[in-house]
Structure 1
Amino acid sequence: MLLAVLLAGLCCTGASRSAAEPSLDLWTDPDSRAASQSAEWRSEGRTADATLMDRIADRPQAEWLNGPNPGPIVRARTTAAAHAGRLAVLVAYYIPNRDCGLYSVGGAPTAANYRAWVDQFAAGLGDRGAYVIVEPDAVAQVVAGCTRVAATERYALLAYAVDRFERQPHTHVYLDAGNSAWIPEAWRLVAALKSAGVARADGVSLNVSNFQTNAASSTYGDRLSKDLGGKHYVIDTSRNGNGPNPGATGTAAWCNPPGRALGTPPTIRTGNALLDAYLWIKRPGESDGTCRGGPAAGQWWPTYALELARNAATGTAS
């Protein structure tokens, strides 16, 4: 309960957190795929490649919870982070009919299963705290026209997740709101986000698994914030160092596009009062799906990771 001691006496609701709360740094997993890859290459004499891979391995990245029984993993990650005096970043990604049947298809089989899964996730958090990203793409896909889901049920499930996670002390909850290129008119998301419980969240997450620049994402976030009564936001900067793939549309724009780079390293010090953090939510080097010769979505792809790290030498996320 180390983090509980560090944060003793602070209020535990998103609406009540303020600048008075200590700004704990983000936790880096010493056993990440990137760290293992770096160690393997170094042992093989690939020192230059291992050094490039360290650009990923040495940075905090999110842990995606996308299968049954999330409690033990959530507990392990938050406990390790608490012992280091830091906060883990976690992604809840198990909504029924996930990804509208695309590369990351899956999720809970029923609404009841999802609620039970959320309860297990929340129990795993305990009082240690974390940044929790709630269901990337789940709102934006409905607004964009996904017909595989009933909007009312999905929004109710998302609201349940937001409310349940916010009950855990020191947990920072961000409901995903897509990216600035997907639904350019930010106002189109407002009603859906409100139905999905954003009023009780700390804010929204933007650019998850995408490549939009910090400037585009913060402009978009500021617009959403204005329409959502001042809600804050976080931006995924894991792969936006060179911005989006020029001229690409559809799958080519978001599925393992070439020439991309690592973006701004994760930090809670952003210089923007509405922007709570730059986070590496998508784990750099994990495939977007079986395109451009990549493995299945979420699988480690070291050649793509190396490209992102190499390009980061000259990349910019401004």
Structure 2
Amino acid sequence: MLPPRPLLARQSAVTVGAALALLLSGCGAEPKPPAPTAPVGPQVSAPPLPPVFYVDPDNPAAQEAARRSQQGRAEDAALLNEIATRPTAKWLTGEEDPVRDEVDGFLQEAYLAGQTPVLVAHNVPDRNCGREETGGAASAVEYQRWIRDVASGVNGRPVIVILEPGAVPDAVDGCPRDVGGRFALLRDAVAVLRSTGSARVYIDAGHPAWIRDVGALAAALRKAGVTEADGFALNVANFVGTDENVRYGQQISDKLGGKSRFVIDTSRNGNGAYPAATVNGAPSWCNPPGRALGEEPTADPGPDRVDALLWIKYPGESDSDCRPGEPESGEWWPEYALGLARKAR
């Protein structure tokens, strides 16, 4: 269950300043960080979150279900509604213009509905480490400006923020080259988001099939600011089963002193991960066949130190065009969504 946030000691300007100094060292030509639009000051206790997560009524599955219903395809519509009626996260990737207005509008809709929205901040520089579909902010300063605009859009309303999927596990793998700079950016992002007083922040920690060295992962999370955040997130956009993630998360938490809590993405893990490393010549993390919707989002999941089960990856959005005919990353793919829903029945 999501507990009331404890009142934290004040986050001093020295701590944040040290992080920024580390971040910008060696970047002589780069300008100073922008003045924050959301101040980094005292960390205040967030109000209790509404126990129901936000369902965007205009989500892709709802639109597709309506189309198919009009076409007389009632079975398809019913399957798609298994996704359409569930709360899912909104991803912020740096393409929003301006991001502050995007966040403000989304949170206001959730606030009026009396529900808790979930955001994913996914714009750290070199976010895919030179792999296919590399993206993210062009520089550290641009990212700092962007995350402050995200925080400004929060404007005191309750929200859960999943911070930078892949950023910490990639750092454990040795990417980017400036690992220290990445950790400094994440620490700064945690401080900025937490200073809103209403955002709960969970730093992404990958999944059990990625980083096997739990000690190394915990050490990296600590450098990224997990002890100042509300915890960490597991299985974002992946398929590993819930029980395996619970065990893995508890092991990570133990390495962090046993107090760190976590959330799990269960959106597509109903059948667990694909049993082989590749499928038809492409990696099995990318649109694997035979997967199913997982457990519904809940703020009262039960297992020790698990704050929530969430649908962070939108079921039916493509992972990438890994095989001929597959949509590009993030594009809505109705047939894959239908497959997930069918397998969950």
Instruction: Return the TM-score normalized by structure 1.
Output: 0.90
Q: Partners of 1:249 and 1:144 in 2: how far apart?
A: 20
* Structure 1 position 13, deviation (Å): 5.5
Tell whether the 8 Å contact from 1:240 to 1:260 is kept in structure 2 after alignment.
yes
Comparing 252-261 with 110-119, greater Cα deviation is found at: 252-261
* Structure 1 position 73, deviation (Å): 1.2
Amino acid at match of 1:280: W
**What's the CA shift string for 1:158-207, capped at 9, x where partnerless?**
11111111111221100000000001221121221111111110000000
In structure 2, what is the equivalent of residue 174 of structure 1? Answer: 202
Q: Partners of 1:259 and 1:233 in 2: how far apart?
A: 27
In structure 1, what is the equivalent of residue 320 of structure 2? Answer: 289
Distance 1:103 1:54, change over 3 A: farther
**What's the CA shift string for 1:84-143, capped at 9, x where partnerless?**
111100000000001112344211001000000000000001111101000000010121
The yes-or-no answer on 1:306 pairing with 2:333 is no
Comparing 56-65 with 224-233, greater Cα deviation is found at: 224-233
Q: How many residue pairs get matched?
A: 303
Q: What are the ranges of 5 or more consecutive residues in structure 1 without an aligned counterpart?
A: 1-8, 314-318
Distance 1:11 1:80, change over 3 A: farther
The yes-or-no answer on 1:117 pairing with 2:146 is yes
Amino acid at match of 1:244: A
In structure 2, what is the equivalent of residue 78 of structure 1? Answer: 107
Give % identity: 45
The yes-or-no answer on 1:187 pairing with 2:219 is no
Tell whether the 8 Å contact from 2:117 to 2:160 is kept in structure 1 after alignment.
yes
Amino acid at match of 1:165: L
* Structure 1 position 81, deviation (Å): 0.6
In structure 1, what is the equivalent of residue 239 of structure 2? Answer: 211
Q: Pick from 292, 297, 304 the counterpart of residue 261 of structure 1.
A: 292
* Structure 1 position 272, deviation (Å): 2.1
Name whichever structure is richer in helix by fraction: 1
Q: What are the ranges of 5 or more consecutive residues in structure 2 without an aligned counterpart?
A: 10-42
Alpha-carbon RMSD: 2.1
Q: Pick from 69, 74, 77 the counterpart of residue 50 of structure 1.
A: 77
* Structure 1 position 16, deviation (Å): 7.7
In structure 1, what is the equivalent of residue 254 of structure 2? Answer: 226
Q: Partners of 2:44 and 2:244 in 1: how far apart?
A: 29
Q: Partners of 1:142 and 1:47 in 2: how far apart?
A: 47
Amino acid at match of 2:265: D
The structure having more radius of gyration, on CA atoms, is 2
Amino acid at match of 1:266: P
**SS of equivalent residue, structure 1 residue 197:** coil
Comparing 246-255 with 291-300, greater Cα deviation is found at: 246-255
* Structure 1 position 41, deviation (Å): 0.9
**SS of equivalent residue, structure 1 residue 157:** helix
Amino acid at match of 2:187: A
Amino acid at match of 1:282: K
Q: Pick from 240, 244, 251 the counterpart of residue 269 of structure 2.
A: 240
Q: Partners of 1:289 and 1:22 in 2: how far apart?
A: 34
Tell whether the 8 Å contact from 1:98 to 1:104 is kept in structure 2 after alignment.
no
The yes-or-no answer on 1:92 pairing with 2:124 is no
Tell whether the 8 Å contact from 1:12 to 1:169 is kept in structure 2 after alignment.
no
Instruction: Return the TM-score normalized by structure 2.
Output: 0.83
The yes-or-no answer on 1:29 pairing with 2:60 is no
